[in-house]
Amino acid sequence: MKPLRCWIFTEGRLGHLNQVRGLAQRLSAKTETAFHYLDLSQQRFRYSGKQGLLDQFAAEQFPDWIIGAGSNCHRPMIWTRFITGCPSVVLSSPSWPLCLFDAACIPAHDEPPHRKNILLTQGVLNTMVPVVEGRNPSTGLILLGGINKHFEWDDARIAAQVRAVVEASPDISWTISNSPRSPASLMPSLGTVLKHARNVELLSYEQTHKDWLKTQLSQVGRVWVSCDSVSMVFECITSATPTGLLKLQPLGDSRVTRSMAQVEAKGLVRVWNERDKGTMPSADIKIWEADRAADWLIEQTLQKKRS
């Protein structure tokens, strides 16, 4: 098989970038590849002809696939597909009709139509790689979100659950971190309820580096995540870290609340309750959607070459 050539649109948002990076990393692990990136947050897209597109991507040949994630990428993807005749694959639900793309990887909780050219995934793709062996069972991580549209954020409720988890596992050294969505009151609240705990480190997300989470999730023995942090929940599950969910009150029925209900029903996580807060799923590979998407896209490529 010749190198798989991909033109990849990005738009600067970390979540969308992680989707295309996750897919690109797994494609490179499985076949020879040639990637050309165009970051729309750094370079304005020119709606040009074939040579203009080659110049923008610094490429000599047209791609096997045009790839992108994020609404700012959709229109340039559609234009590039129209001008070059090359197929496109969009990651997550597009803001334009699906018929304008040749393939799509869409989370099942978005309830896309069931078609051969649509891969339903559990959550969005990410860059996490499952690690089963070599974890330190005496370390744990607690990751907290914040204000959102799907769950009622409650500092006191979260702090009570965190305290219960910490007290139930006094032999574990816990690192607790917040997120950009966390209210300013959260970390002080945790500091108050955990003031006597000697096995806890409070670490603001502002004190971490870009690879901190990936490193932590390859090493710790367990992780608890607030249920509003959907992408982070799927990153934890993908990493094969035994994962627990901290509970919040849903604000209504939505794709996000349904998604969290589904991961619980499938046994991918342990949802916090007072009776078995110390019991966690085993450390094994439950999902690896970027890897599955790479296999699927390679098969789609072969089918197109055969047709």
pLDDT for 2 equals 85
pLDDT for 307 equals 66
Q: CA-CA distance, 160 to 142, in Å (whole number)?
A: 13
pLDDT for 275 equals 67
pLDDT for 199 equals 94
Q: CA-CA distance, 71 to 179, in Å (whole number)?
A: 23
Q: CA-CA distance, 60 to 292, in Å (whole number)?
A: 29
- The edge-to-edge listing of strands for the beta sheet with 88-91 is 33-39, 4-10, 65-69, 88-91, 103-107, 118-121
What backbone torsions phi and psi does residue 71 show, to the nearest 5 degrees? Answer: -60, -30
Q: CA-CA distance, 112 to 120, in Å (whole number)?
A: 8
Q: CA-CA distance, 208 to 17, in Å (whole number)?
A: 19
- CATH superfamily membership of 4-127+289-306: Glycogen Phosphorylase B; (3.40.50.2000)
pLDDT for 277 equals 55
Find out whether 203 and 175 touch, Cβ atoms under 8 Å: yes
What stretch(es) of the chain map to CATH 3.40.50.2000?
4-127+289-306, 136-271
Q: CA-CA distance, 228 to 257, in Å (whole number)?
A: 8
Q: CA-CA distance, 169 to 271, in Å (whole number)?
A: 16
Q: What is the pTM of this model?
A: 0.92
Find out whether 177 and 205 touch, Cβ atoms under 8 Å: yes
User: Could you read off the pLDDT tens digit of each residue along the chain, which spans 307 residues?
Assistant: 689 999 999 998 989 999 999 999 999 999 999 999 999 999 999 999 999 999 999 999 999 999 999 999 999 999 999 999 999 999 999 999 999 999 999 999 899 999 999 999 999 999 999 999 999 999 999 999 999 999 999 999 999 999 999 998 999 999 999 999 999 999 999 999 999 999 999 999 999 998 999 999 999 999 999 999 999 999 999 999 999 999 999 999 998 999 999 999 998 998 888 666 556 777 788 899 999 999 999 999 988 777 6
Architecture of domain 136-271: 3-Layer(aba) Sandwich (3.40)
Length of the chain: 307
pLDDT for 284 equals 83
